[in-house]
Structure 1
């Protein structure tokens, strides 16, 4: 039986569409246009790291295909990682790019290893970041060890020429424990 998230995908909303708005602290992190990697590095006093979970070619989810403007069922490169601060998983990140746009783009996402994709995207001035959207991220889409209902996630698409890289970031409870200090 398909999960509820697959039957009823989340509604990704812009800041203007989001009512009621989350508290100021959450709004600040969800809609900040700066590099999340840099902010997490600052918050963790330099104790930031990336823990790769999985990567490879997969069929993209329908909401991802729609955002990347490719046909439903398209294949793409999927990379899932934990962004860690002070030794704890603070953010689950899922980045995807459609195969036909990625091949021949000169961007090899398979060689990132434990480096931050965000740092790469923000350092390449050719990438333009689209509008941030947020939702309550479906728990079925999270790794089992951090599965939780009603976690805030955000996503935006970075575009360069014909390539789109969709980056989704889900803020885990361990993150909010540190962000409020």
Structure 2
């Protein structure tokens, strides 16, 4: 595994029609469910849902993120990485990014979220428009050090409000599939 994650080849993010037809229906359901993942996880966890921030701050965004947000090379943005937990177990690793320029004029203070779910904020603010979901198998080098080191299924979508774009990627961890009583390969 490369020491520098910028050297990792980015995954190919795909629409539902581009994915292999042999994927299990429940996997497609989780990857392309347009509702709030926070609400779905909270329900699965019988209300024992929590958010654990891992890191937040200004960083140079990855090439695939810059492309999705329509910004140029070397652009800096706010990066927030968290675990979404059910019953105390990390079920989803989430990485949310927004360009610095968009945040400075967009009026959204991501630094103030703390242990609150960004997804819940996005779904409560009806001014945000969600763009189509995409999915891929996420590069292991992009996962936190304590996450399983395998290619895990992930989804992402862009949320937009008055020139502010946020890209939210959600990577489904093995503990989620155990909780949902599913075997994902």
TM-score of the alignment, normalized to the shorter chain, above 0.5: yes
Name the TM-score class by shorter chain.
Answer: over 0.9
Corresponding residue number in structure 2 for 1:105 = 106
Taking the TM superposition and a 5 Å limit, the aligned residue runs for 1:102-141 are 102-141=103-142
Corresponding residue number in structure 2 for 1:89 = 90
Structure 2: distance between partners of 1:177 and 1:7: 29
User: 8 Å contact 1:25–1:180 — kept in the other structure?
Assistant: no
Corresponding residue number in structure 1 for 2:149 = 148
Unmatched runs of 5 consecutive residues or more in structure 1:
none
Corresponding residue number in structure 2 for 1:175 = 176
SS in 1 for 2:23: coil
Structure 2: distance between partners of 1:78 and 1:28: 27
Structure 1: distance between partners of 2:66 and 2:153: 21
Q: Deviations over 1:34-80 (max 9, x none)?
A: 00000000000000000000000000000000000000210000000
SS in 2 for 1:114: coil
Structure 1: distance between partners of 2:179 and 2:63: 33
Structure 1: distance between partners of 2:164 and 2:45: 32
Structure 2: distance between partners of 1:21 and 1:15: 12
1:3 Cα deviation (Å)? 5.7
Q: Deviations over 1:90-110 (max 9, x none)?
A: 000000000001102110000
Unmatched runs of 5 consecutive residues or more in structure 2:
none
SS in 2 for 1:104: helix
Tell me the number of residue pairs that the alignment of Structure 1 and Structure 2 aligns.
181
User: 8 Å contact 1:5–1:138 — kept in the other structure?
Assistant: no
Corresponding residue number in structure 2 for 1:6 = 7
Superposition RMSD in Å: 1.5
Instruction: State the TM-score, normalizing by the size of structure 1.
Output: 0.96
Instruction: State the TM-score, normalizing by the size of structure 2.
Output: 0.94
Distance 1:102 1:178, change over 3 A: same
